[in-house]
Amino acid sequence: MASSSQKGIVITIPVLVLSVSAAAIFLFFLLSSLSSSPCTCPPSIPDSTFTTTAAVVTGGTVVAEVVDRRISVSRDDIEWVKDQIRANGLHMQDNVLRKGINPRTRAQQLEDLNNFKGISHYEGSEANNHTALPCPGELLVEEHHSNYGEPWAGGRDVFEFLAESSLLTANSHVLEIGCGTLRVGLHFIRYLKPEHFHCLERDELSLMAAFRYELPSQGLLHKRPLIVRGEDMDFAKFGSDVMYDLIYASAVFLHMPDKLVWVGLERLVSRLKPYDGRIFVSHNIKFCSRLGGDECSKRLGSLGIEYLGKHTHDSLLFNHYEIWFEFRRSKA
Ligand SMILES: *[C@@H]1O[C@H](CO)[C@@H](O)[C@H](O)[C@H]1NC(C)=O
């Protein structure tokens, strides 16, 4: 599913400025000749897969907007960053004590934090009324970023694969089953409109990390994700008015009894948009294949679910790929 062969259109600033000025002059004459009929319709603009330019007239001024629909990095992005590293003459160095830099492990940083707090900090009665959302030290030193076998950065890979495979837009509705500390979820929350990301998670410490550290530190509280503590595939608290464009479970079903996975699918199928909506499951689908022979697809079929295929997605930053199984709802 590599999409690096597709290139976005690069609109240089001079070209953009020129086209905007041309549009402004054109619209000036258009508006003065038709002064009684103000036009708010955007002129027709060439469209590409990832980048569109829209000129919008607002009260006589032309505002140019470049809307970037690309989610994954482009080949140009990668060339750009490699150039930056080359141009700055950068090489990996040993991370040892040097002028102004004193590298610490997470454990050492936590110890420092507990013993010395910040260099500038409030004392006495002032210590407790200046911090709006006090966060436990373990979360501040990001111990939870090492709770998983894989690097934290891999969350971005999962997001890019799922969002592009299910043709997501900011207006889509997404449900994650088991979002943990939001390693993946953060990227969806940032991308989607407020309240459009839902998640069921049972681990209390993970939820604390999500609410007390990840959402506030990433500036995402305003996105109001609906993250519910619960297990056993109980989606009752998500209401019944949302239809999901994407439902996914990353490394979750393989830790669950097969029976429970089926209960979950049965409950969720009516909440998935027919045909266009997607369910993605990572790693394996033993809950299904263990049934043997045709039983797997028969049972899916009886729920109105169709298996569409297996995908792999390469990680951007390390030698690793994700395996994903794609399903859709085959009946309305
Ligand atoms: C914090 O509490 C102390 C003691 O009650 C008080 O004197 C001070 O004004 C408070 N500061 C703020 C920012 O509320």
Tell me the pLDDT tens digit for each residue of 204-236.
Answer: 999 999 999 999 999 999 999 999 999 999 999
The burial of 172, by beta-carbon neighbours within 10 Å (0-12 exposed, 13-18 middle, 19 or more buried), is given as buried
Q: Is the pLDDT of residue 97 over 80?
A: yes
Is any atom of ligand 1 closer than 6 Å to the C-beta of 128? Answer: no
Q: Quick one: CATH architecture of 152-329?
A: 3-Layer(aba) Sandwich (3.40)
- The top-scoring range by mean pLDDT among 60-74, 112-126, 131-145 is 131-145
For ligand 1, the distance from its centroid to the CA atom of residue 123, given in whole angstroms, is 11
Domain boundaries, the chain: 152-329
Q: Which residues contact 196 (CB under 8 A, 6 or more apart)?
A: 170, 171, 172, 173, 174
Q: Which of 19-28, 96-105, 148-157, 179-188 has the highest mean pLDDT?
A: 179-188
CA of 128 to the centre of ligand 1 (A): 9
pLDDT confidence band for 328 (50 / 70 / 90):
very high
Antiparallel, parallel or unpaired: β 246-249 and 278-282: parallel
CA of 140 to the centre of ligand 1 (A): 25
User: Which pLDDT does position 73 carry in this prediction?
Assistant: 94
pLDDT at 29: 45
Could you read off the pLDDT of 256-288 as tens digits, one per residue?
999 999 999 999 999 999 999 999 999 999 999
Does position 25 have pLDDT exceeding 60, yes or no? no
pLDDT of residue 148: 78
Residue 187 in tokens:
């990227």
pLDDT tens-digit map of 49-91: 455 455 555 555 555 555 556 899 999 999 999 999 999 999 9
Confidence class for position 293, pLDDT limits 50, 70, 90: confident
Question: What sign results for the dihedral spanned by CA atoms 159, 165, 169, 174?
Answer: negative
Bigger pLDDT: 15 vs 260: 260
Distance CA 3, CA 1 (A): 6
pLDDT at 144: 95
- H or E segment to which residue 156 belongs: helix 154-165
Give the residue whose CA is nearest to atom 5 of ligand 1: 125
Q: Is 123 in the pocket of ligand 1 (CB under 6 A)?
A: no
User: Which pLDDT value is given to residue 239?
Assistant: 87
Beta-carbon contacts of residue 191 (< 8 Å; ≥ 6 apart): 71, 159, 163, 168, 170
Q: What is the pLDDT of residue 58?
A: 53
What global pTM score does this model have?
0.80
Look at residue 57 in the predicted model and tell me its pLDDT: 53
Q: Which atom of ligand 1 is nearest to 130's Cα?
A: 13
| 299-311 tens-digit pLDDT | 999 999 999 999 9
Tokens of 139: 């979360």
Whether the per-residue pLDDT at 179 is higher than 60: the answer is yes
3-state helix, strand, coil in the chain (%, to 5): 40, 20, 45
Mutational pocket test of ligand 1: of 121, 129, 130, the residue with most ligand atoms within 8 Å of the beta carbon: 129
How many Å lie between the centroid of ligand 1 and the Cα of residue 210? 29
